[in-house]
Chain A
Amino acid sequence: MSASSLSRRLLLLPCAALCCLPFAHALAQTTAAPAAITEARIAKLEAAAAAAQSGADNTWMLVSAALVLMMTGPGLALFYSGLVRRKNVLATMMQSFSMMAIITVLWALVSYSLAFDSGSAFIGGLHHVFLRGVGLSPDPDYAATLPLQTYMIYQLMFAIITPALITGAFAERMKFSAMCVFMVLWSLVVYSPMAHMVWGKGGLLNASLGGRFPTLDFAGGTVVHVTSGVSALVCALYLGKRVGYPREPMMPHSVVLSLVGACMLWVGWFGFNAGSALSSGPLATSAFVNTHFGAAAAAIAWGAAEWIRNGKPSALGAISGAVAGLVAITPAAGYVQPMGALAIGLIAGFFCYAMVVFVKNLFGYDDSLDAFGVHGAGGTLGAILTGIFASSAINPIFKDAKGAVLPSGAIEGNWHQVGNQAVGVAIAWALSIVGTLVLLKLVDLVIGLRVSADDEAEGLDISQHGEEGYDFAS
Chain B
Amino acid sequence: MYKIEAILQPSRLDAVKDALLEAGIEGMTILEARGHGRQKGHTEFYRGREYTVDLLPKIKLETVVQDELVEKAVSAISNAARTGKIGDGKIFLTKVDEAIRIRNDERGPTAL
Contact = CB atoms under 8 A, between A and B. Distances in A.
A461 to B, nearest CB: 21
Interface string A342-378: 0000000000010011100100000000100000000
Contact of A246 (B44, B49, B52): B49
Interface in B32-65: 44-49, 51-52
With a 10 A CB-CB cut-off, give which of B45, B48, B49, B52 has the most chain A CB atoms: B48
A316 B44 CA distance: 11
Contacts of B47: 316-317, 320, 356-357, 370
* Interface of chain B, main secondary structure: strand
Contact of B46 (A309, A314, A353, A361): A314
Given A249-B51, A249-B52, A353-B48, 15 more contacts: A251-B44, A251-B46, A251-B51, A252-B46, A306-B45, A310-B45, A314-B45, A314-B46, A316-B46, A320-B47, A356-B47, A356-B48, A357-B47, A357-B48, A370-B47
5 contacts: A251-B51, A312-B45, A314-B46, A317-B47, A320-B47
SS of A interface (majority): helix
Interface of B: 44-49, 51-52
A10 B65 CA distance: 85
Interface of A: 246, 249, 251-252, 306, 309-310, 312, 314, 316-317, 320, 353, 356-358, 361, 370
The 9 closest A-B pairs by CB, nearest first: A357-B48, A249-B51, A310-B45, A356-B47, A251-B51, A252-B46, A316-B46, A251-B46, A314-B45
Contacts of A353: 48
A230 B48 CA distance: 21
A310 B47 CA distance: 11
B51 A361 contact: no
A33 B45 CA distance: 82
Contact of A361 (B44, B45, B48, B52): B48
Contacts of B51: 249, 251
B46 to A, nearest CB: 6
Contacts of B46: 251-252, 314, 316
Contacts of A312: 45
Nearest to A357: B48
A305 to B, nearest CB: 9
A321 to B, nearest CB: 11
Nearest to A246: B49
Nearest to A370: B47
B47 to A, nearest CB: 5
A357 B46 CA distance: 9
A104 B58 CA distance: 48
A316 B47 CA distance: 7
Nearest to A249: B51
